[in-house]
């Protein structure tokens, strides 16, 4: 499906979500509550079949944490960017998608490690790179007097 | 020894308790500081849990404090074997965001450099693969041939591994006058050496026995775990970004995306070997036709990206590399995320190696071609 | 019988592949003049690095002990690691006007990643990459260098 | 004391008489034991050092390198420097290791090596023990070393060591069979297990030429199995650097490690010496039936030189294996033995018996 068709299809499919063409790829912004269901649909519906999760990451915006999923369909070769904003910035919580795409298991651990986003129902949510008592370094308000030199 | 003490004998088989072995962080075959917590029963591997982060250097955080052209030199330090591809990914991402069209010459140079890096990386992978399986001589043969590529890099870019050659809008320097001659000499020589690689290792009956029919990865698993590069293509996962979202001069050249369906260790090995021939083929098409022109477009002194999010995928030697830049319009990026191929590939290891022997674990790990800074970033 | 034949052919094929491998290594062991080892400290005199090799940042001086650096600080801004510090001073020009000039161009080699961004940014071409690669020192403080030579001054006609 | 480089039996006999003239028979025996013991120790130390140097140079040549070049002329003193380093190194022992066994293991390995060396005929008359059952004795004592390896692996309380030791146990026990059977093939041909007789009966032609194809097959099998028995690549599973870091000697340092290291090289020498003695005519010069002039020239070269030339040739071959092939997996190593080497060996013995029965050999 080319982008316009895909956009129309997605807009019809996910009425609660906001579908808009981004700078490069189509973007869907979903409510945090709908995330898991949307993920299942994106992978499961044969016309979409977004089975390859390229990249999962989080961005610390001033109001909320945003989790960004770059998805591709191996069969149809179309791409979409799924986004979800957490309700709370300080103690963000999102449903896990690691049961939909297995690779998300470790990508989510990375996001938890660096941004402190907790993924509900994640089977093994531990820190990946850093010590347990280290802060969440990719947050904008992270301070480390010893290791980070401000210029 | 306490974990191995208890032996329970049942009627049909002797059952020994499982025990844990830490492979790494300092272990010869983890190629760096990767720690695998391996659950073994005798020689059999039951479960592998990778522990990463020993050389996590916080490159993503560092990127938030420096300007866009400066980000590129940090990407050298992630996957140091495909440094140029990483550089190019960031450069392409910035160019896309700024809507800058680079000259044809730059595209050609970048593509040749990409393929040379890929060759160098695969050569190192080949020799390390042999070393992991106990054939130490391959290590030196691979390094011997890789030296020629590194010399080419050094002559043109000024460095052997941390190239920092792509800059936003082009490349750092024009190619050296000797560049074309040297690349052609190298191709001629390496085409003679590649069959030797096959005779020494690929055809060897011990090597075949060691790699055939172990470490199966199905297509579904490859996609679900995001295993890309030759490792994913060995399972039939068509994931070559050069084909699907071509960049630089890749739309202009003829090449094949090598695919296989068997998905075992030998298939992954064979695909990488074939990719070397393919890379030589790509370079041969481009090296004589580098168009004249500028080697970089003039960029502003301070590069500022428009507000928004940009994603660029490239194919490195290990698989798909992605750069995700969030810009708030300032001269520093707001957030940079590197999607590294090694990260996704590593965590499929448990899927592939569980149920095999320790020796197989080493073989499987070396066909994944892990580079630890690429995983830890 | 077929199985027996297969068994024998496996043995012969296996031994054949092993001999092929031994042929390759044997070819190299009996041609020791093709060895690739370079004996480094011995070949120091003949060892020449490539022109573009990035060994360290140096500032070129001409025979009158003059350099091209105006002390503009662009290299300092462009350095990603903060390995360059520019200490400038005010000088009186011949016309009697005050003009900024370089006092000390401090370069921390220990922090430098040799990324070439400072050299690319330098508007006057005052700093270049040197080919020296033997940087080992006994004391870390020796890695901090002052690039402009003592008593040197800016060459005539160099403008910011 | 008449000194004859072609026959040492006169010299040793004269030496014996010379001692007897001057002291009691008991004292003579003790003095002779001491001389023999010291000379064996010297030989093991010096030849071991030489083999380590040779291995490094040969390996370098295979890999298009130069190898050690810094210490001494062309790195000749490198292994001596290494040895001094190992001597001065601190002996580290894991806290929870079994102290007695941990210290005992290197000696067992070393003792097994010395035991096997006792019967090797270096030249005519230069052989310490000349048993009737020399070949049998070598195969018996050469497998004592595995006990040392097993003890080392178990007592150092390290999982890598234990895995390595277990692998080595399984491997050596299996390959012992092939070594013995391939030697049996030649025993059939020679009609004796006494090493001096075996060498003597190769005066006109070496067994590898005499025994036609069965002897050649037996030689190849002996080389493979012998390599496996010395734990060398491609059968170095017990050490398996890329899998088990260093296998059974992971926890050993200093001189104890040097013992294992030295024993490995001397074992390689023993395998090569056995191959030489049994298949390649020992210290006998190369003779071709009727080329009289050629045979005379060959006779002129002393037996000791012949012996070491052959031994070094075989050692070079074993090194060639190591630096070419990848390592086998533990199940494949057993497959190779039980499914390939053993059946081939048995058939080979049958063939050899037929050859001997029909007097087909030369």
C123 falls within a domain: yes
Range scoring the smallest mean pLDDT among B93-107, B188-202, D15-29: D15-29
Counting one residue from C and one from D, how many pairs have CB atoms under 8 Å apart?
Answer: 37
Are chains A and D in contact at 3+ CB pairs closer than 8 Å? no
Q: What is the dihedral sign for C-alpha D255, D261, D267, D272?
A: negative
Find all residues with CB under 8 Å of D151, minimum gap 6, and list them. D101, D104, D105, D108
Residue B317: phi and psi, rounded to 5, are -65, -25
Query: Which residues in C have their CB inside 8 Å of a CB on D?
Result: 11, 18, 21-22, 24-26, 28-29, 32, 34-37, 39
Residue D316 lies in a domain: yes
Question: Is the CB of B134 less than 8 angstroms away from the CB of D163?
Answer: no
- Supply the CATH number for residue C136's domain: 3.30.70.3270
Please check whether residues B281 and B173 belong to one and the same domain. yes
Any bridge partners for residue D51, and if so which? none
**Lookup result for tokens 């004998």:** B9
Please name which of C87, C93, C90 lies closest in space to residue C156, comparing C-alpha atoms: C93
Give the minimum alpha-carbon distance from B168 to chain A in angstroms, rounded to a whole number.
19
Do B29 and B92 share a domain, yes or no?
Answer: no
Is B219 exposed, middle or buried, given 0-12, 13-18 or 19+ CB atoms closer than 10 A?
Answer: middle
Checking if the pLDDT of B120 tops 70, the result is yes
pLDDT above 70: residue C14: yes
pTM score, two decimals?
0.88
Is residue C15 domain-shared with residue C85, that is, in the same domain? no
pLDDT in tens, B241-294: 888 888 888 888 888 888 888 888 899 898 888 888 988 889 888 888 888 888
Cβ-based neighbours of D318, under 8 Å, separated by 6 or more:
D223, D226, D227, D230, D232, D268, D271, D272
Instruction: Identify whether D273 is part of a domain.
Output: yes
Do B333 and B350 belong together in one domain? yes
Based on the fold, state whether residues B174 and B282 are members of the same structural domain: yes
The boundaries of the domain holding residue D350 are: 93-357
Q: What is the pLDDT of residue D186?
A: 84
User: Does the pLDDT value for residue B21 go beyond 50?
Assistant: yes
Asked whether the beta carbons of residue B74 and residue C80 sit closer than 8 angstroms, the reply is: yes
In-domain check, residue C89? yes
Asked if residues B87 and B69 have their Cβ atoms less than 8 Å apart, the reply is no
Q: Would you write out chain D's pLDDT as a tens digit for each of its 362 residues?
A: 456 667 777 777 788 888 888 888 888 888 888 888 898 888 888 888 888 898 888 888 888 888 888 888 888 888 888 888 888 888 888 888 888 888 888 888 888 888 888 888 887 777 777 778 888 888 888 878 888 888 888 888 888 888 888 888 888 888 888 888 888 888 888 888 888 888 877 777 777 777 677 888 888 888 888 888 888 878 888 777 777 877 788 888 888 888 888 888 888 888 898 888 888 877 777 777 677 777 777 777 787 888 888 889 999 988 888 888 888 888 888 888 888 888 888 988 888 888 888 876 65
CA distance to C63, C126, D115, D234, per residue, from C66 (Å): 7, 10, 79, 64
- How many domains does chain B contain in total? 2
Within a domain: D161: yes
C160 is a domain residue: no
pLDDT at B157: 87
* Two tokens, residue D314: 């075989």
> In angstroms, rounded to a whole number, what is the distance separating the alpha carbons of residues D161 and D256?
15
The pair of three-digit structure tokens given for residue D338, joined into one six-digit string = 């039980």
Per cent of chain A over pLDDT 90 is 0
Q: Same domain, yes or no, for B122 and B259?
A: yes
How many structural domains does chain C have?
2
Give alpha helix (H) positions in chain C: 2-29, 74-78, 117-121
CB contact under 8 A, C28 and D65: no
For residue D321, tell me if it sits in a domain. yes
Does one domain contain both B267 and B332?
yes
- Residue D81 located in a structural domain: no
Residue C139 resides in a domain: yes
Interhelix angle D159-190/D342-357, nearest 10 degrees: 10
pLDDT recorded at residue B306: 86
Question: Are residues B296 and B325 part of one domain?
Answer: yes
Do C67 and C94 lie in one domain? The reply is yes
pLDDT at A11: 78
**Can you give the residue range of the structural domain that contains C53?**
49-154
Q: Among B92-106, B138-152, B218-232, D191-205, where is mean pLDDT lowest?
A: D191-205
Find the domain containing B32 and state its range. 2-51
Q: Are residue B146 and residue B37 in the same domain, yes or no?
A: no
Residues 111-150 of C with CB under 8 A from B: 113-117, 120-121, 129
- Lowest-confidence region among B49-58, B98-107, D291-300, D313-322: D291-300
Specify the residue for token string 């890309």: B228
B134/D233 touch (CB, cutoff 8 Å), yes or no: yes
Pick from A88, A56, A60, A94: which is nearest to A72 by CA?
A56
Residue C93 within a domain: yes
> DSSP code of B353?
H
Whether residues B126 and B264 share a domain: the answer is yes
Residue B13 in this model has a pLDDT that exceeds 70: no
- The pLDDT-based confidence of C1 (bands split at 50, 70, 90) is confident
Q: Mean pLDDT, chain B, as a whole number?
A: 85
Interface pTM, i.e. ipTM:
0.85
Q: Kindly report, residue by residue over B73-82, the tens digit of the pLDDT.
A: 888 888 888 8
For B269, C121, D69, the CA distances from D76, given in Å and listed in that order, are 40, 53, 8
Report how far apart, in Å, the C-alpha atoms of A123 and of each of A66, B220, B272, B375, D261 are: 21, 21, 35, 22, 48
**Which residues in D177-286 belong to E strands, given as ranges?**
none
Query: Residue A144 in contact with residue A131, Cβ under 8 Å?
Result: no
Closest alpha carbon to B341 in A107, D305, C154: A107
In the numeric block, which tokens belong to residue B187? 């191709």
| Residue C8 domain flag | yes
Domains of chain A and any CATH numbers: 3-88 (3.30.460.80)
Closest of B31, B8, B138 to residue B81, by C-alpha: B31
If you measure CA to CA, which chain B residue comes closest to C122?
B301
Check which CATH number belongs to the domain holding B347 and give it: 1.10.645.10
Q: Are residues C70 and C11 in the same domain?
A: no
> What local confidence, expressed as pLDDT, does residue B135 receive?
84
Which of D60, D65, D320 has the CB atom closest to C22's CB atom? D320
Residue A1 has pLDDT above 70, yes or no: no
Provide the shortest C-alpha distance from residue C12 to chain D (in Å): 11
D133 domain-assigned: yes
Dump pLDDT digits (tens) for A56-115: 888 888 888 888 988 888 888 888 888 888 888 888 888 888 888 888 888 888 888 888
- Specify the pLDDT at position C138: 92
Residue B5 clears pLDDT 50, i.e. is over it: no
Q: What is the pLDDT, as a whole number, of residue D245?
A: 78
Residue in A57, A103, A129 nearest the CB of B53: A129
Q: Cβ neighbours of residue D253 under 8 Å, at least 6 residues apart?
A: D89, D90, D91, D92
Q: Domain boundary residue among B51, B68, B88?
A: B51
D246 dihedral zone (left: phi>0; alpha: psi -120 to 50; beta): alpha
- Cα–Cα distance for residue pair B320/B325, rounded to 1 Å: 16
pLDDT tens digits, C90-149: 777 767 777 777 788 888 888 888 888 888 888 888 888 888 888 889 998 888 888 888
D152, part of any domain: yes
Q: How many domains does chain D have?
A: 1
Residue D43 lies in a domain: no
Collect contacts of D207-211 with beta carbons under 8 A, ≥24 apart: D207/D278, D207/D279, D207/D280, D207/D281, D208/D279, D208/D280, D209/D362, D210/D361, D210/D362, D211/D185, D211/D186, D211/D352, D211/D355, D211/D361
Contact criterion met (CB below 8 Å) for B51 and B37: yes
The answer on pLDDT for C87 being more than 80 is: yes
Phi, psi of D110 (to 5 degrees): -70, -45
Q: Is position C43 within any domain?
A: no
Q: Are residues B352 and B229 in the same domain?
A: yes
């Amino acid at each position: 499906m080319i982008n316009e068709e895909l956009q129309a299809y997605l807009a019809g499919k996910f009425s609660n979500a906001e579908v808009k063409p981004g700078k490069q790829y189509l973007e869907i912004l979903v409510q945090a509550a709908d995330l898991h269901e949307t993920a299942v649909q994106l992978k499961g519906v044969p016309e979409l079949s977004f089975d390859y999760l390229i990249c999962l990451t989080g961005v610390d915006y001033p109001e909320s944490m945003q989790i960004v999923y770059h998805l591709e369909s191996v069969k149809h070769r179309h791409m979409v960017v799924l986004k979800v904003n957490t309700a709370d910035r300080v103690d963000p919580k999102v449903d896990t998608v690691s049961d939909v795409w297995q690779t998300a298991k470790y990508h989510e651990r990375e996001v938890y490690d660096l941004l402190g986003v907790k993924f509900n129902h994640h089977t093994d949510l531990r820190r990946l790179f850093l010590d347990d008592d280290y802060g969440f370094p990719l947050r904008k308000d992270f301070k480390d007097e010893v290791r980070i030199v401000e210029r | 020894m306490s974990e191995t003490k208890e032996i329970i004998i049942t009627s049909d088989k002797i059952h020994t308790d499982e025990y844990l072995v830490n492979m790494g962080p300092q272990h010869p075959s983890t190629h760096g500081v990767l720690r695998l917590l391996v659950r073994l029963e005798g020689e059999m591997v039951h479960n592998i849990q990778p522990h990463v982060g020993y050389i996590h250097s916080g490159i993503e955080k560092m990127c938030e404090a420096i300007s866009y052209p400066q980000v590129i030199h940090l990407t050298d330090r992630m996957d140091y074997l495909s440094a140029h591809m990483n550089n190019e990914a960031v450069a392409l991402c910035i160019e896309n965001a700024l809507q800058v069209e680079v000259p044809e010459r730059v595209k050609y140079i970048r593509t040749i450099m990409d393929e040379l890096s890929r060759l160098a990386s695969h050569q190192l992978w080949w020799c390390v693969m042999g070393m992991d399986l106990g054939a130490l001589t391959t290590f030196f043969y691979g390094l011997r041939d890789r030296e020629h590529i590194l010399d080419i890099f050094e002559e043109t870019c000024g460095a052997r591994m941390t190239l920092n050659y792509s800059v936003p809008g082009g490349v750092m320097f024009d190619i050296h006058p000797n560049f074309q001659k040297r690349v052609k000499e190298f191709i001629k020589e390496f085409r003679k050496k590649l069959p030797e690689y096959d005779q020494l290792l690929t055809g060897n009956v011990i090597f075949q026995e060691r790699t055939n029919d172990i470490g199966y990865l199905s297509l579904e698993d490859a996609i679900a775990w995001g295993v890309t590069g030759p490792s994913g293509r060995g399972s039939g996962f068509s994931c070559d970004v050069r084909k699907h979202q071509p960049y630089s001069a890749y739309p202009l050249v003829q090449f094949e995306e090598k695919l296989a369906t068997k998905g075992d260790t030998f298939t992954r090995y064979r695909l990488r070997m074939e990719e070397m021939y393919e890379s030589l083929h790509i370079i041969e098409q481009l090296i004589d036709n580098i168009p004249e022109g500028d080697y970089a477009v003039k960029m502003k002194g301070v590069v500022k990206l428009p507000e928004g999010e940009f994603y660029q995928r490239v194919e490195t030697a290990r698989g798909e590399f992605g750069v995700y830049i969030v810009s708030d319009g300032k001269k520093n990026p707001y957030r940079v995320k590197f999607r590294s191929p090694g990260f996704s590939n590593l965590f499929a290891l448990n899927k592939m190696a569980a149920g095999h022997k320790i020796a197989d674990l080493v073989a499987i790990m070396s066909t994944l071609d892990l580079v630890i800074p690429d995983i830890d970033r | 019988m077929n199985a027996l034949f297969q068994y024998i052919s496996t043995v012969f094929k296996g031994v054949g592949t092993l001999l092929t491998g031994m042929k390759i290594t044997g070819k190299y062991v009996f041609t020791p003049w093709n060895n690739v080892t370079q004996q480094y400290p011995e070949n120091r005199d003949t060892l020449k690095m490539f022109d573009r090799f990035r060994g360290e940042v140096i500032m070129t001086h001409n025979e009158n002990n003059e350099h091209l650096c105006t002390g503009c600080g662009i290299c300092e801004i462009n350095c990603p690691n903060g390995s360059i510090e520019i200490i400038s001073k005010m000088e009186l020009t011949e016309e009697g006007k005050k003009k900024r000039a370089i006092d000390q161009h401090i370069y921390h080699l220990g922090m430098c990643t040799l990324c070439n961004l400072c050299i690319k940014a330098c508007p006057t071409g005052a700093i270049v990459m040197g080919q020296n690669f033997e940087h080992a020192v006994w004391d870390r403080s020796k890695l901090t260098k002052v690039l402009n030579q003592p008593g040197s001054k800016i060459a005539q006609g160099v403008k910011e | 004391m008449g000194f004859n480089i072609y026959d040492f039996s006169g010299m040793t006999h004269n030496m014996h008489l010379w001692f007897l003239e001057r002291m009691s028979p008991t004292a003579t025996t003790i003095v002779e034991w001491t001389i023999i013991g010291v000379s064996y120790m010297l030989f093991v130390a010096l030849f071991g050092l030489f083999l380590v140097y040779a291995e490094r140079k040969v390996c370098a040549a295979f890999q298009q390198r130069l190898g050690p070049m810094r210490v001494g002329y062309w790195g000749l003193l490198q292994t001596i420097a290494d040895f001094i380093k190992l001597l001065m190194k601190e002996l580290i022992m894991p806290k929870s290791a079994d102290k007695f066994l941990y210290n005992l293991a290197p000696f067992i390995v070393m003792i097994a090596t010395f035991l096997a060396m006792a019967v090797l005929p270096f030249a005519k008359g230069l052989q310490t023990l000349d048993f009737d059952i020399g070949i049998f004795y070598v195969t018996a004592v050469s497998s004592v070393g595995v006990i040392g390896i097993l003890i080392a692996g178990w007592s150092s309380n390290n999982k890598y060591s234990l895995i390595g030791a277990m692998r080595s146990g399984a491997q050596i026990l299996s390959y012992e069979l092939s070594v013995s059977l391939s030697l049996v093939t030649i025993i059939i041909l020679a009609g004796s297990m006494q090493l001096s007789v075996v060498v003597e009966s190769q005066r006109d032609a070496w067994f590898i030429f005499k025994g036609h194809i069965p002897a050649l097959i037996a030689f190849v099998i002996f080389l493979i199995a012998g390599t496996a028995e010395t734990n060398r690549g491609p059968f170095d599973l017990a050490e398996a650097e890329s899998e088990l870091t260093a296998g059974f000697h992971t926890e050993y340092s200093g001189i104890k490690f040097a013992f294992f290291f030295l024993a490995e090289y001397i074992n390689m020498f023993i395998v090569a010496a056995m191959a030489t003695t049994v298949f390649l005519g020992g210290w006998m010069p190369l003779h071709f039936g009727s080329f009289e002039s050629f045979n005379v020239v060959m006779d002129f070269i002393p037996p000791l030189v012949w012996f070491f030339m052959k031994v070094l040739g075989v050692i070079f071959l074993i090194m060639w294996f190591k630096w070419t092939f990848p390592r086998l997996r533990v199940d494949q190593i057993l497959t190779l033995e039980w499914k390939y080497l053993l059946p081939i060996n048995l058939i080979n013995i049958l063939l050899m018996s037929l050859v001997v029965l029909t007097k087909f050999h030369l």
